[in-house]
Amino acid sequence: MQRTRGVVVTGASSGIGLECAKWLAGHGFHVFAGVRKEADAARLEKAVPGKISAVLLDVTDAASIKAAVKTVSQCPSDILPYALVNNAGITIAGPLEMLPVDSFRKQIEVNLTGQLAVTQAFLPLLRTHHGRVFLMGSILGRFALPFLGAYSCAKYALQAMAESLSIELSGTGVSVSLVEVGNIATPIWEKTKAVALELAGDLSESRWDIYRDDARAALGYLERLSEKGLAPVRVAQAIEKALTARVAKKKYTVGADSTFLGRVLPVFPPGLRQAILRRVVLRR
């Protein structure tokens, strides 16, 4: 009996996760699409009928993760649970001095701890089928932008997680790859702006004055990024390539900015790198 490879994609309700789910489902895989809302589940299953199974999954909830693993493990016998695409993530923006610690914790919990928790839960199942794990990284895991420090903290740490996991799992039949993306046109930038404005509204006028001009410049920069970003399907195509390769690479970069900036900026002296980023992002 020929079996279809099954892929679990977390954070599949929008952006990169949504495009990954639809693209992989349309190119020979069965996708278990992790979403948090019933409405998103119904919408996804209709997108590619018979090829997407929506799974309610909150990466910060242990019971939800356990239930998702159970659902995938009980899939039809003609589907082989083969890969995990750890895509779920959020962006919390704001000056680190004034970012509520609970907001910082949430950023780390979703983008870092959640990825580890889901990976731990699915590894026994993936190991049985010599599967593959993908962690969704970012070029902001190589250098940090102002007002996105919390996000970069999570992405920097995710690189370390990917490397450690890859070494630890070598010889077990499970490969680990970091997918490092550059500027992708997704709703995450609009959500980021909304979160930043909400934080600004919570700050007293005198405290916000310290960062007002720089924050406006940074938000403008994010708006320009959203207009120039690559289509999310480019990430889906890279993951398909990684899934069909005989041996998956340890790292995949998506976008010219990821390839160039990820290699060049990190090797600049810190003072020079920060001066460049101030000029580009804050325009000063």
What is the per-residue pLDDT across 38-60, written as a single tens digit (0 to 9) for each?
Answer: 999 999 999 999 999 999 999 99
Please check whether residue 5 is in contact with residue 82, taking contact to mean a CB–CB distance below 8 angstroms: yes
What structural domains and CATH numbers belong to the chain? 4-282 (3.40.50.720)
DSSP label of 94: S
The arithmetic mean of pLDDT across residues 197-225, rounded, is 71
Q: Which residues, including other chains, have CB under 8 Å from residue 202's CB and lie 6 or more apart?
A: none
pTM: 0.91
The answer to whether residue 35 scores a pLDDT higher than 70 is yes
Nearest one of 142, 127, 135, 123 to 162, comparing CA atoms: 135
Catalytic residues: 151
Query: Which of 55, 72, 182, 64 shows the shortest CA–CA distance to 131?
Result: 72
Provide the pLDDT confidence category of residue 157 given band limits of 50, 70 and 90: very high
Q: How far, in Å, are 156, 214, 230, 239 from residue 253 at the CA level? A: 15, 30, 13, 10
